[in-house]
Amino acid sequence: WIKPSPMPRNANRRYVTDFEMAVWAVKSGGKWTFNKKPNISYMRPSYSGTPPQGNNRIHPTQKSESLINEIIETHSNIGDVIFDPFSGSGQISYSANNLNRFYIASEIDITYWQKSVKRIKDSYVKPAFNHLGNKFRMIEDLMREFPKKNIDYFVDVFAGSGIVSLTYKSPKKIILNDNDSWLAKILEYLLNTDKEILLKEFEKIISEYNLPKVKKTYSIEYNKLKKQFNVDKKISKLLVLIIFGFNQQIRFNKNGNFNIPSGKFWWNDYHKSKLVNFIDNAKDKKITIRSNDFVTFIKDIKKEIEKEKTLFYFDPPYFLSNATYNGSWSDVKEIELIKCLQDLTDQGYKWFLSNLLKSKNKENKYLDDFIEKNKDKIDVIYLDKINYKNSNYQRKERNYEDIEVLVR
């Protein structure tokens, strides 16, 4: 690595070291990876670049992102594991994650560790609108476990906010489904509207209804917009209502009218950046959106996919949860879900499920029995607020009050 701006230590009495060396090695008898760039005749073993400066610099010896990207792409393949025992800024893990490699890293300094973990978390797609069941809080657990290669089709059966699909880098085609037709319409609008047009439309609505760009109350103005939306059902107005609504929730009454009261928000750069980031992450992906009951959807989608190259992801309403959006989920639906999972397992499909095994001393017996029956075919990954533990299913060893899992 040729340094354009080396540290001029004792420059009058010694040479200035303006380079660093990297050692490239494999185990005796092992095979190495060398991915030569196809557009050049040969690659020289040198790189010239400046490390990050100012606010972009986390660690004093932090390497350039483009340098680390080049090393990782040249000497590893998609789906390989990158191990960094002296993580520092976390640049190697950050680059590995972005380049669709697995990563393992350690850092003894807690401050650098926290900054590097935050940097990776911040790089994931944030939900453009609030959906109470969105999986942003566990997105890193999902990305750690999802396969990195040989997945052409990603089938998101309960898509919700869509962030899992937009964050997952491996699939060539993504099929989003949600039984909630309004969620499907919102996703359709976001994924098929130019970001500049969308922002102009939002600014127009916010200005027309005098909604705030600074902190203040706005219930009268908000209710005028809500009344108009319930007449014309325009999706751009619905998204503005969600941004300014109580807890930014989505809820419709039995007459099909949006009925969330006003909240305590205002239009700002944070909301803009979430919308832009969401749209930018979708523009290069091949995405289709459906809105069907999950049983019908799975039956139909099997005709369009290749079994060996497909990953199903299930994030259903949690059977043990009391969340308002779970109101229509019943024992009948849970039994139907378990049957779908059993069919996919027996037929050799790959799938993941997010769910609760236990909550507030209530146990999901349907899921519990399914796991016990198929314990030789599936893995259970136990989640908590800080980390996760991957192990075989041992119900007698699990005595936590709440048990959230990924089942694979």
Digit-coded pLDDT (tens) for 37-63: 999 999 999 988 888 888 889 999 899
State the average pLDDT over residues 23-30. 90
pLDDT of residue 134: 80
pLDDT of residue 28: 92
Backbone phi and psi for residue 117, each to the nearest 5 degrees, phi listed first: -65, -45
Digit-coded pLDDT (tens) for 236-284: 999 999 999 998 888 899 899 999 999 999 999 999 999 999 999 888 8
State the average pLDDT over residues 158-168. 93
- This prediction has a pTM of 0.87
What is the DSSP track for 246-304?
A: GGG---B-TTS-B-PPB-S----HHHHHHHHHHHHHHTTSEEEEE---HHHHHHHHTTT
Structure tokens at 26: 């494999």
Digit-coded pLDDT (tens) for 381-407: 998 643 334 444 444 445 556 788 999
| Higher local confidence (pLDDT), 181 or 390 | 181
Instruction: Note whether 266 and 215 are within 8 A (CB).
Output: yes
Q: Give, as one character, the DSSP assignment of residue 359.
A: E
* Of 45-59, 168-182, 227-241, 328-342, minimum mean pLDDT range: 45-59
pLDDT of residue 11: 84
Structure tokens at 229: 């939306």
pLDDT of residue 326: 56
In this predicted structure, the answer to whether residue 66 has a pLDDT above a threshold of 50 is yes
State the average pLDDT over residues 163-167. 93
pLDDT category at 323 given cuts 50, 70, 90 is low
Q: Which residues contact 9 (CB under 8 A, 6 or more apart)?
A: 16
pLDDT category at 90 given cuts 50, 70, 90 is very high
CA–CA gap between residue 197 and residue 199 (Å, rounded): 6
Structure tokens at 48: 């010239």
* Mean pLDDT over the full length of the chain: 90
* Placement of tokens 């139909």 in the chain: 300
In this predicted structure, the answer to whether residue 368 has a pLDDT above a threshold of 70 is yes
